[in-house]
Amino acid sequence: MESERRRQLTRLLAPASVAVVGASPNSRYGMRMLGNLARRDWQGRLYGVNPRYREVAGYPCYPSLRDLPEAVDLVVVATAGAAVLTVLEEAQTAGAGGVIVLAADVPDSQRARIAEISRGSGVAVLGPNCLGYVGAAGGLTGAWSIGLPEKPFIGPGPAVVSQSGNLANHLVNYYVGQRFSHVISSGNHWGVSPMEFVEWLVPRGEVRVLGAIIEGKPDAEGFAAAAEAARQARKPLCVLHLGRSALGRAMAEAHTGALAAGDEWWRAMRRRVPFAEATDLEEFAAILKLLGRLGEPGHLRVGLAASSGGECGLMADLAETLGVDLAELTQESRVRLRRALPVYVHPQNPLDYGASTWGTEEPYQTVVTELAADAHVDLAGAVQDFPGHPDHVGPWETMMDGAAHAQRSTGKPVLVMTTMGGVPERYYDRAESLGLQIFAGLRPTMAGLGEVTRLGREAAAWVRPQPRPERARPPLGRGPWNEQTAKEVLAEWGLGHPRGMRADSLAELPHAADLVGYPVVLKALSVRHKSDVGAVAVNLAAEHELREAGREMERRLRNAGVQAHGFLVEAYVPGRLEWFVGGSTVSGVLVTGPGGVDVEIWRDTAPILIGASPEEVSRALDETRASRILAGHRGHARYDVDALVGALVNLSDFLSHYRERRITVDVNPLLVGEVGEGVLAADVLLLEEDLAVQEGSS
């Protein structure tokens, strides 16, 4: 991030002076913003801007931003959407550093102009359609447009940027035993992108871990840059991305105008730069707490204990499903545990220490301590559920003392875990005083442990991608492209295809086949899904077979109401593995896996970001079940994986080069030979959507 851009974001997020435009006794959001700023330990200068008042809530009020006694760092726009652009232009002229736009009804026609104002050294715009932020920069700053608790849960710890204002508000208002250094509601991000906020947060000392709640698909280069900056600073990143389902993607598009990507884009991006992923807000909070406590461990072998066989069984099931590595206890530990446990309890992991000792410090002082002390255990977790009613008294404090003893005596982290949620705040406070952390709910906690384990492995193996020089390529004209011209286009990018010849009529087929050489494949040009309408015939070994296939193909196409614009005669290449690759510049992803007519049924695919390195492509192929076939399954010779990787890299580079155009490519099958035989694109579909037509029809 350039220094001037960082300075503007610092003025926005750590202001020494703030002006609230639209402040009045009748302005709900403006008054909340004034109140939240005023009653925090932020010591900056605060102004109102409204020509109808000379003061609001005891603060001086001025007719316009031009009339303020200084160029304020932060302008909060608490007006209707129609007035926002005027205020932004006035803020830019007045030398403001940043602007928070709360309104959700800003006309979409103003989006480009707002982006222009916010770009580079302009005014850094947060929003529109956001709540503001709460942060620990320069004292607790509550530039937040709705209610804040008397004790906001802000302090050194994870920093979160959330496109969803309500999810951000949950983190600010509901204590889960975790303080946040910053919570930024980025809204529609017409100005500053969520990833720019992440980049600004990375070097700050109060930020220990980074979190992002994202609706849709961010800019790939911006996300990768922010994630790499976090990785270089050794500050783990966790993402909760919304829009996994078809309905979720539609809601993301309607709510924020974002283009959702489903899971494929995120899977591919995680291969480029490792980060953690959460599936819901409880899991997100649990992962942030675990990352803050554990970092990114190279291995995480877990020992678990509870006073119930049912809870132990539930934890064992969740561990297997969610990727938690349960430690295999040493024989020495089993002997020591057997002495400490009731006679009817068998030492194992998860460990049921029996209900007869529940409510005492003893199982924690001895059993949990012995479990944590095991040489194979890196972390111990003990289930302890808390009373739901404040008047319900019991031995919970005593049990927590025992967990703290286990942690102190072994030097290993001991988690206090609950079966369900609903932990009263006073127990979180007590846990903090003991150096413990409480994790509410077994499923989000176990999911968090599994995700931190996965991230640790991927982070340990990560190598920063090296930039690859882009080779000179001939310009790509406008389509449409039939299969023959599409193959010629991709051949310029290093993707070979079987030798072939075009025939404009049935009468020209024999001459084309003589030039190609029998056996041949016959295809109708300009037909997208050839097998569906009988527009392809393979392994034609003689002229009479070719003529008969041509007549039959013409009859089928005529009956289907499909018009062929000539034919393609190609060499028949038998005995190769059928593979598939397809993607688009819109999704930013290639998907690859075993191909042929059944590709949609098997769905054994892996996603690859466009512009991928050979290492990324190799790891993607390893994720497919068919990777064992490529490697030579049950005595079959190995396939030419190097050539396949090269072909996928070339296609990835092709889409990356033309990322500003709406291009889709589909190669199925891509014929993979044995080692040394290379790969050939047997069938290619190349399309380009006319952006002007697309925009006009939307």
Q: Could you give the 3-state DSSP secondary structure of residue 581?
A: strand
Give the whole-angstrom CA distance, residue 276 versus residue 264.
Answer: 15
Per residue, the 3-state secondary structure of 165-200, as one string, reads: HHHHHHHHHCCCCCCEEEEEECCCCCCCCHHHHHHH
Is pLDDT larger for residue 580 or for residue 365?
580
**What pLDDT shows up at residue 398?**
82
Q: Average of pLDDT values for 472-482?
A: 86
Q: How confident is the model at residue 262 (pLDDT cuts 50, 70, 90)?
A: low
Say yes or no to pLDDT of 487 above 70.
yes
Rounded to the nearest integer, the mean pLDDT of the chain is 89
Q: Is the pLDDT of residue 256 over 60?
A: no
Helix axes 220-232, 262-272, angle to 10 degrees: 40
The confidence band for 142, taking pLDDT boundaries of 50, 70 and 90, is confident
Q: Which three-class secondary structure state does DSSP give residue 554?
A: helix
Q: Is residue 248 over pLDDT 50?
A: no
Which range has the worst mean pLDDT, 26-30, 261-265, 305-309, 336-340?
261-265
Distance between CA 315 and CA 209 in Å, rounded? 27
Q: 570 or 122: which carries more pLDDT confidence?
A: 570
Distance, in Å, from the CA atom of 212 to the CA atom of 619, rounded to the nearest integer, reads 25
- Please determine, for residue 138, whether its predicted confidence score (pLDDT) is greater than 80: no
pLDDT digits (tens, 9 = 90+) for 320-379: 999 999 999 999 999 999 888 888 888 999 999 887 666 667 777 888 999 999 999 999
Residue whose structure tokens are 């410090």:
361
Label residue 501 by pLDDT band (50, 70, 90): very high
> Among 162-171, 239-248, 451-460, 668-677, which stretch is predicted with the lowest mean pLDDT?
239-248
Identify the residue whose tokens are 């018009």.
Answer: 563
Residues 577-697: name the CATH superfamily.
Answer: ATP-grasp fold, B domain (3.30.470.20)
The class that CATH gives domain 1-132 is alpha beta
The answer, yes or no, to whether residue 449 has pLDDT greater than 90, is: yes
Is the pLDDT at 237 greater than 90? The verdict is yes
* Cβ–Cβ under 8 Å, residues 459 and 209: no
Residue 527: the pLDDT is: 81
CATH architecture of 499-571: 2-Layer Sandwich (3.30)
Spell out the residues 6+ positions from residue 1 whose beta carbon is closer than 8 angstroms to its own.
9, 196, 199, 200
For the stretch 502-558, pLDDT in tens is 999 999 999 999 999 999 999 998 787 787 788 999 999 999 999 999 999 999 998
Predicted pLDDT at 254: 42
pLDDT in tens, 30-43: 898 888 888 777 88
Residue 694: pLDDT above 60? no
| pLDDT for the residue 498 | 96
* The pLDDT of residue 499 is above 50: yes
Alpha carbon distance 351, 412 (integer Å) = 17
Q: Is the pLDDT of residue 3 over 80?
A: yes
Residue 1 DSSP label:
-
| Domain range annotation of the chain | 1-132, 149-295, 299-461, 499-571, 577-697
Sign of CA dihedral 111, 112, 115, 121: negative
H-helix or E-strand containing 215?
A: strand 207-215
Q: How confident is the model at residue 296 (pLDDT cuts 50, 70, 90)?
A: very high
Report pLDDT for 140.
73
In this prediction, residue 245 carries a pLDDT of: 55
Q: What pLDDT does residue 247 have?
A: 43
pLDDT in tens, 363-373: 778 889 999 99
Find the mean pLDDT for residues 137-156.
Answer: 81
pTM as predicted: 0.88
pLDDT band for 562, please (50, 70, 90 cuts).
Answer: confident
The whole-number pLDDT of residue 390 equals 65
Q: Please determine, for residue 691, whether its predicted confidence score (pLDDT) is greater than 50.
A: no
Helix extents (H) in 584-630 = 599-602, 614-623, 627-630
Q: What is the pLDDT of residues 184-235, one digit of tens each?
A: 999 999 999 999 999 999 999 999 999 999 988 888 899 999 999 999 999 9
Same fold, 1-132 and 149-295: yes
pLDDT > 70 fraction of the chain, expressed in percent and rounded: 93
pLDDT at residue 252 above 70?
A: no
- The first and second tokens of residue 440, run together, are 């509410």
Closest CA to 213 of 306, 301, 285, 138: 285
Reply yes or no on whether the pLDDT at 636 is more than 80.
yes
Residue predicted with more confidence, 520 or 564: 520
Q: How confident is the model at residue 89 (pLDDT cuts 50, 70, 90)?
A: very high
More confident residue, 681 or 217: 681
Q: Which helix (H) or strand (E) holds 511?
A: helix 509-516
Whether CATH 3.40.50.261 fits 149-295: yes
The tokens 């561990």 sit on which residue? 319
pLDDT at 693 over 60: no
> Is 299-461 CATH 3.40.50.2300?
no
User: Long-range contacts of range 612-618, CB-CB < 8 Å, 24 or more positions apart?
Assistant: 612/268, 612/272, 612/648, 612/649, 612/652, 613/465, 613/466, 613/468, 613/649, 614/645, 614/646, 614/649, 615/463, 615/465, 616/268, 616/271, 616/272, 616/465, 617/645, 617/648, 617/649, 617/652, 618/645
pLDDT over threshold 50, residue 260: no
The answer to whether residue 629 scores a pLDDT higher than 80 is yes
What is the layout of strands, in order, in the sheet containing 207-215?
141-144, 132-135, 180-185, 154-162, 207-215, 237-242, 276-278
pLDDT tens across 47-57, in order? 999 999 999 99
- Residue owning tokens 């614009």: 565
Strands 679-681, 154-162: pairing kind: unpaired
- Cβ-based neighbours of 640, under 8 Å, separated by 6 or more: 672, 673, 674, 675, 676, 677, 678, 679
To 10 degrees, what angle do helices 641-657 and 614-623 make? 120
